[in-house]
C-alpha cells in the first residue's frame, strides 16, 4: 500500500481560549510560509470582524505550511459547542488531531466535546499542553487529567499512548520536556511528522471527493471545500455530483484551489489526501460526493448535529421601524436568511403562516446571536422572540436537550450556586476541590434552565465565577417551569425622550436600562422592576417650570448608572410576551402588545382561562 510521505492532514481542537489560533499563527510564522517582510496580523486565522472582537473562532478554516519536505494541512476549528457542526465535519477530513489543553485550566467541557468527536473518528491524537509559561501551570497533573478523559471517553490503547508536547504558543516555543522550553516549535513539527499517519496514495483508482465545508464568493458562486479520498481530480474534468437526495448532477470542474499560508492558490490537479476547494457547482452541499460519471460511488453521508434552540424572527413593526436600517422588508430578510443557509449547515429556517415571520433554529444562543449581530451590521432591522429549546419525541417520549455544565467558583459561593442550579432542575454529578480556594462543580441541567442564567450567575459569584456548558444528550422532559426570569419589568407609558427628571422619579422602583435623552415608545421596556409584576412608568416626565422659588430648593441628586445590555444579554432577558427589536444602531426590548389596556385585557382572559 502506497502512502504520501510528503503530506499530513491535522485538525487543531481545544476548549475556547486555550490558544488554538495563536498556535496556528506561530506554526505559520516558523515554517517560513510568510516572506520575511510580509505583514501578518496576530490571530491571522480569525479573519472576520466578530471573531477579532470577541477573540473566538466561529468558522473552521484551513491553512497549509511546508516544513522540511512535507506539506502540513491544518484545520483550525471553533471551541464553542454552538459551532460543533463545524468541528464534526472537519474530523472527516483529517488523519490526526492536536488536542490543545491549557496548562493551568486543564480539561474543560469543550475539550471533552471536541475530543469525543475525534475519538469517534478513530483519529491519532497529539496532546499539546499550552501556556506552559503561565503562573501556577501544572503540566503533569493536566496530562493525568487528559489520560482520565481519554479512558472515560472509551479511547483505544493506541490512542491513550499519545505523545505530549509542552508549548507556549504566545512565545513560539515548544519541547517534549515540561521543565525547559526550546526556543522554537520544532518539537511540535517533528511530532506531527512522526506520529500523524500519512494519507494513503490511491490516486490511480476512480475519484472520490467529499465536501465538508461551504464557502461563497460573488465571482465564482458556491465553493465546496473538502478532501480527495481517492483518485485524482483535474480542472476541466467532467464529473458527477452525488446529491444527498439520491439524484446525480453532471458538471465540469471550472477551478480548483489549494491552500498555503493564508492564501488560496489555484491548482490544476489534486491527488488522494489533498484538501482543496472546488468551484463550478451551483448547488453543492456538505456531505455530497464528487466522482467520475462512469463510476458513481458515494461516500457515507456526514452526520451533522441537529439544532437544539429556536427563535422566531419577525419583520420589525415597532413605532420606530425603518428609521435606522437599510433592509426592513420581509423579502430582504428572507433573502438574507436563505443566503446564510448556503454556508451554515447547522442552521434551519422555516416559513410560517405569515410571510413576515420565520422560525430559525440553531445549535445554541451564541450561534443565533452571531447571525443576528452579522445581520444588524449589514443594515437589517428585525425583531426576535425569546429563545426556546426544541423538544423531540424519542420512542414516544417527549425529550428535551440537557447540557453538561462546568462551573469554577471560589469556595464561599458554592452554596448559592447549588441552590440556583437546583431551582433550574440541575443535577450535580461531580464536585472537585482543588485546594486553592476554587471549587469545580459539574451539573446536568435542562437547556431551558440555562436560558437567561448568565446574569444571575455573575451576580451570585460577584463576577468571580466561570461557567462553561456543552450539549450532552436528549433526556425525558422534566415537568413544570424550569428557569425563566423572576422579575417584572418597567414599561414606558408614552412615546417621547426619556428625561433625567423622569428617570429619577422611577429609579427607586428598579434598575433602568437606558440613558437620559433616549427615544422611547409606549410599550417599550425601560428597566427591571424590583417586584415580580410589570409596572407602567412615565420616564419622559419633565419638571414643571414655575417662577416661584421652591422652599426645599432643587436637590442635585446623582443618578444611578443604567444597566446597558449587550445583544446576548437582551436575548437571554426576554420573556414569552416580549420581543427584542434589533436595528443597526439600537437594541430595544418591548412588549409584544404595546397598548397597556390591551395587555391587561389579555392577562385577565388568561387568568380566567387558567382558573377554569
Provide the annotated binding site: 17-22, 130-133
- End-to-end CA distance of the chain, in Å? 75
Task: Pick out the residues of the known binding site for GTP.
Answer: 17-22, 130-133
Residues 6+ apart with CB under 8 A from 391: 398, 399, 400, 477
Grouping H, G, I as helix, E, B as strand and the rest as coil, residue 464 is coil
Cα dihedral 600→605→607→610 (10° resolution)? -160
Residues 6+ apart with CB under 8 A from 285: 211, 214, 243, 244, 345
Residues paired with residue 16 on neighbouring β-strands, in sequence order: none
Residues paired with residue 400 on neighbouring β-strands, in sequence order: 475
Tell me how far apart the alpha carbons of residues 435 and 413 are, in angstroms, rounded to a whole number.
Answer: 15
Measuring CA to CA, how many Å separate 36 from each of 40, 43, 182? 10, 18, 22
CB contact at 8 A, 385 and 579: yes
| Residue 183: CB atoms within 10 Å | 10
Tell me how far apart the alpha carbons of residues 217 and 14 are, in angstroms, rounded to a whole number.
Answer: 29
* Alpha-carbon 370 to chain mean position: 7
Tell me how far apart the alpha carbons of residues 539 and 494 are, in angstroms, rounded to a whole number.
Answer: 8
Burial of 498 (0-12, 13-18, 19+ CB in 10 A): buried
Side-by-side strand order, sheet with 535-537: 510-512, 525-529, 489-492, 535-537
* 301 secondary structure, DSSP code: P
Tell me how far apart the alpha carbons of residues 73 and 8 are, in angstroms, rounded to a whole number.
Answer: 6
Q: Which of 526, 573, 567, 582 is nearest to 384 (CA)?
A: 582
Tell me how far apart the alpha carbons of residues 136 and 129 are, in angstroms, rounded to a whole number.
Answer: 14
* 539 secondary structure, DSSP code: S
Residues paired with residue 390 on neighbouring β-strands, in sequence order: none
Grouping H, G, I as helix, E, B as strand and the rest as coil, residue 425 is coil
Q: Which of 593, 572, 576 is nearest to 522 (CA)?
A: 593
Give, for 152, the enclosing helix (H) or strand (E).
helix 139-152
Cell numbers for 112 = 471533552
Grouping H, G, I as helix, E, B as strand and the rest as coil, residue 180 is coil
CB contact at 8 A, 151 and 112: no
Amino acid at each position: 500500500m502506497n502512502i504520501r510521505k510528503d503530506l499530513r492532514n491535522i485538525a487543531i481542537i481545544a476548549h475556547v481560549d486555550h490558544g488554538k489560533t495563536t498556535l496556528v499563527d506561530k506554526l505559520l510564522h516558523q515554517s517560513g510560509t510568510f516572506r520575511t517582510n510580509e505583514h501578518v496580523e496576530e490571530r491571522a486565522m480569525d479573519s472576520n470582524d466578530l471573531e477579532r472582537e470577541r477573540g473566538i473562532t466561529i468558522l473552521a478554516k484551513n491553512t497549509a505550511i511546508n516544513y522540511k519536505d512535507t506539506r502540513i494541512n491544518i484545520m483550525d476549528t471553533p471551541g464553542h459547542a454552538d459551532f460543533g457542526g463545524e468541528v464534526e465535519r472537519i474530523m472527516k477530513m483529517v488523519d490526526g488531531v492536536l488536542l490543545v489543553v491549557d496548562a493551568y485550566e486543564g480539561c474543560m467541557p469543550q475539550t471533552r466535546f471536541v475530543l469525543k468527536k475525534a475519538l469517534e473518528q478513530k483519529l491519532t491524537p497529539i496532546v499539546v499542553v499550552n501556556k506552559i509559561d503561565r503562573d501556577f501551570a501544572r503540566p503533569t497533573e493536566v496530562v493525568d487529567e487528559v489520560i482520565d478523559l481519554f479512558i472515560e471517553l472509551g479511547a483505544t490503547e493506541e490512542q491513550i499512548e499519545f505523545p505530549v508536547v509542552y508549548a507556549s504558543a504566545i512565545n513560539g516555543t515548544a519541547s517534549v520536556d515540561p521543565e525547559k522550553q526550546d526556543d522554537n516549535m520544532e518539537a511540535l513539527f517533528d511530532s506531527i511528522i512522526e506520529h500523524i499517519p500519512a494519507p494513503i496514495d490511491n490516486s490511480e483508482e476512480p475519484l472520490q471527493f467529499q465536501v465538508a465545508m461551504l464557502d461563497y464568493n460573488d465571482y465564482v458562486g458556491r465553493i465546496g471545500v473538502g478532501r480527495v479520498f481517492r483518485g485524482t481530480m483535474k480542472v476541466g474534468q467532467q464529473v458527477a455530483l452525488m446529491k444527498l437526495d439520491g439524484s446525480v448532477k453532471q458538471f465540469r470542474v471550472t477551478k480548483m484551489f489549494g491552500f498555503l499560508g493564508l492564501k488560496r492558490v489555484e491548482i490544476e490537479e489534486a491527488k488522494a489526501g489533498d484538501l482543496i476547494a472546488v468551484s463550478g457547482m451551483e448547488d453543492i452541499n456538505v456531505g455530497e460526493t464528487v466522482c467520475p460519471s462512469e463510476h458513481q460511488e458515494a461516500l457515507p453521508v456526514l452526520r451533522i448535529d441537529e439544532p437544539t434552540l429556536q427563535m422566531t424572527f419577525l419583520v420589525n413593526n415597532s413605532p420606530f421601524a425603518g428609521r435606522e436600517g437599510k433592509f426592513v422588508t420581509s423579502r430582504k430578510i428572507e433573502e438574507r436568511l436563505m443566503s446564510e443557509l448556503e454556508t451554515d449547515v447547522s442552521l434551519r429556517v422555516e416559513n410560517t403562516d405569515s410571510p413576515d415571520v420565520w422560525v430559525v433554529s440553531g445549535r445554541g444562543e451564541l450561534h443565533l446571536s452571531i447571525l443576528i449581530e452579522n445581520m444588524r451590521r449589514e443594515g437589517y432591522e428585525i425583531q426576535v422572540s425569546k429563545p426556546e429549546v426544541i423538544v423531540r419525541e424519542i420512542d414516544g417520549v417527549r425529550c428535551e436537550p440537557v447540557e453538561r455544565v462546568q462551573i469554577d467558583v471560589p469556595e464561599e459561593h458554592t452554596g448559592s450556586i447549588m441552590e440556583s442550579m437546583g431551582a433550574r432542575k440541575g443535577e450535580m454529578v461531580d464536585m472537585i476541590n482543588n485546594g486553592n480556594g476554587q471549587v469545580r462543580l459539574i451539573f446536568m441541567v435542562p437547556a431551558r434552565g440555562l436560558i437567561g442564567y448568565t446574569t444571575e450567575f455573575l451576580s451570585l459569584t460577584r463576577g468571580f465565577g466561570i461557567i462553561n456548558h456543552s450539549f450532552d444528550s436528549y433526556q425525558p422532559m422534566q415537568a413544570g417551569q424550569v428557569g425563566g426570569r423572576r422579575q417584572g419589568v418597567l414599561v414606558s407609558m408614552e412615546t417621547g425622550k426619556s428625561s433625567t427628571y423622569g428617570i429619577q422619579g422611577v429609579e427607586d422602583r428598579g434598575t433602568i436600562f437606558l440613558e437620559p435623552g433616549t427615544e422611547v415608545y409606549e410599550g417599550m421596556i425601560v428597566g427591571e422592576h424590583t417586584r415580580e409584576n410589570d409596572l407602567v412608568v412615565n420616564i419622559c416626565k419633565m419638571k414643571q417650570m414655575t417662577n416661584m422659588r421652591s422652599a426645599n430648593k432643587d436637590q442635585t441628586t446623582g443618578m444611578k448608572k443604567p444597566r446597558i445590555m449587550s445583544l446576548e444579554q437582551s436575548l437571554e432577558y426576554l420573556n414569552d410576551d416580549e420581543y427584542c427589536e434589533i436595528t443597526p444602531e439600537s437594541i430595544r426590548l418591548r412588549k409584544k402588545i404595546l397598548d397597556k389596556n390591551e395587555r391587561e385585557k389579555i392577562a385577565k382572559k388568561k387568568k380566567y382561562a387558567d382558573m377554569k
